[in-house]
Amino acid sequence: MADILFVVVPCYNEEEVLPETAGRLLAKLNTLISNNTISNRSRVVFVNDGSTDKTWQIIEEFHSKNSIFSGINLSRNRGHQNALLAGLMRVKDCADVVISMDADLQDDINAIDGMLGKYYDGCDIVYGVRSIRTTDSFFKRSSAEFFYKLMNKLGAKVIFNHADYRLMSNRALSGMAEFKEVNLFLRGIVPMIGYKSDVVYYERSERFAGESKYPLNKMLAFAFEGITSLSVEPIRMITKLGLGMFFISIIMLFYTVVQYFRGATEAGWPSIIVSIWAIGGLILFAIGLTGEYIGKIYLETKQRPRFIIEKFLDENNEDN
């Protein structure tokens, strides 16, 4: 018997593109069902992340007309990563396999076939990876590549040119549920799960309609969140900087002593300079060392709810 597939689609103010997205996903799932690749109990689950337009009303209309469409309405806007996690965690016990993708149709829906093929070959995780980035501007392309390289340099292992278009088996989702951190960066968490994985390459298209929900300031904030939630290396860099400045102060001490005996200094200048460098270095070192521990405590102790589900439209047309 074919496995049950759920496609989870986070949505924030996507009223312009949602009808097209739903139509294409419906056609894809119907084809897969008719080919007996997936079960007829498979579903598309739209997750409304506190949209201010008619996104949720459109999702409710889809659900009322066709039970293949389900919907999750969050109590308020929680951000893309939390909305995606809410969908994955809500459906993990209903499906054998789950595919996550964005609503803007930039991800190639036909890559689902390749993902399922690798899943049936034994992979628990299949990453959708861009083969080329021709649709991006030079700045976005170069900054994205720099970000992926920086993340790996800092010890946060991420899949190069992979966003959140991926397949995860029920077993992989159960593994992800064990990660309790509040500051989410799923692109870094998923590779930590382990299990057999593979990639499917696809060409990313232009956004079908509407505007990008990730302008430059949000992309920078997202990148910073990813780095700080997965690595304490920035704090270590401060510690190293403090140590470096302290050693420079030692060099300055010898320099000012030499200058003093050469008669090339003003009275009081050597002690002030050495004090500034030494104290500055020690302060930064102390802040970095303290921050090393605070950073670890911070990552572990913030246990606020990552999302709150207000309503779930299940496959039986019942509101939960």
Handedness of CA 43, 49, 51, 57 (dihedral sign): positive
- Of all residues in the chain, the percent with pLDDT exceeding 70 is 75
pLDDT band, residue 107 (cuts 50/70/90):
confident
pLDDT band, residue 225 (cuts 50/70/90):
low
pLDDT attached to residue 315 = 57
Of 123 and 132, the structure prediction assigns the larger pLDDT to 123
pLDDT attached to residue 220 = 61
Range scoring the smallest mean pLDDT among 1-5, 63-67, 177-181, 207-211: 207-211
Range scoring the smallest mean pLDDT among 56-60, 68-72, 181-185, 201-205: 181-185
d(CA 134, CA 222): 22
pLDDT attached to residue 122 = 92
Residue 209 pLDDT greater than 70, yes or no:
no
Residue 7 pLDDT greater than 80, yes or no:
yes
Of 235 and 230, the structure prediction assigns the larger pLDDT to 235
Most confidently predicted of 96-105, 246-255, 301-310: 96-105
Residue 165 pLDDT greater than 60, yes or no:
yes
Residue pair 213/13 in contact by the 8 Å Cβ criterion: yes
pLDDT attached to residue 317 = 44
Residue 27 pLDDT greater than 80, yes or no:
yes
* Domain residue limits, the chain: 5-138+159-215, 233-301
pLDDT attached to residue 77 = 87
Residue pair 37/116 in contact by the 8 Å Cβ criterion: yes
Most confidently predicted of 9-18, 260-269, 293-302: 9-18
CATH superfamily of 5-138+159-215: Spore Coat Polysaccharide Biosynthesis Protein SpsA; Chain A (3.90.550.10)
Length, in residues, of the chain: 320
Residue 303 pLDDT greater than 50, yes or no:
yes
d(CA 4, CA 42): 5
Long-range contacts formed by 171-174: CB under 8 A, 24+ apart:
171/124, 171/195, 172/124, 172/125, 173/88, 173/89, 173/92, 173/98, 174/92
Residue ranges with strand state E in 150-225: 162-169, 197-202
Residue 44 pLDDT greater than 90, yes or no:
yes
* DSSP-assigned beta bridge partners for residue 128: 200
DSSP 8-state symbol, 2? P
pLDDT attached to residue 211 = 56
- Mean pLDDT, residues 234-260: 75
d(CA 305, CA 301): 12
d(CA 269, CA 159): 53
pLDDT attached to residue 179 = 84
- Mean pLDDT, residues 131-144: 63
d(CA 180, CA 237): 26
- Mean pLDDT, residues 172-178: 91
Query: How many other C-beta atoms lie within 10 A of the C-beta of residue 314?
Result: 18
Closest by CA to 136, choosing from 214, 228, 84, is 214
In the chain, the amino acid numbered 286 is A
- Mean pLDDT, residues 123-150: 72
Backbone phi, then psi, for 92, in 5-degree steps?
A: -60, -25
Measured distance between the N- and C-terminal CA atoms of the chain, rounded to whole angstroms? 28
Average pLDDT of the chain is 80
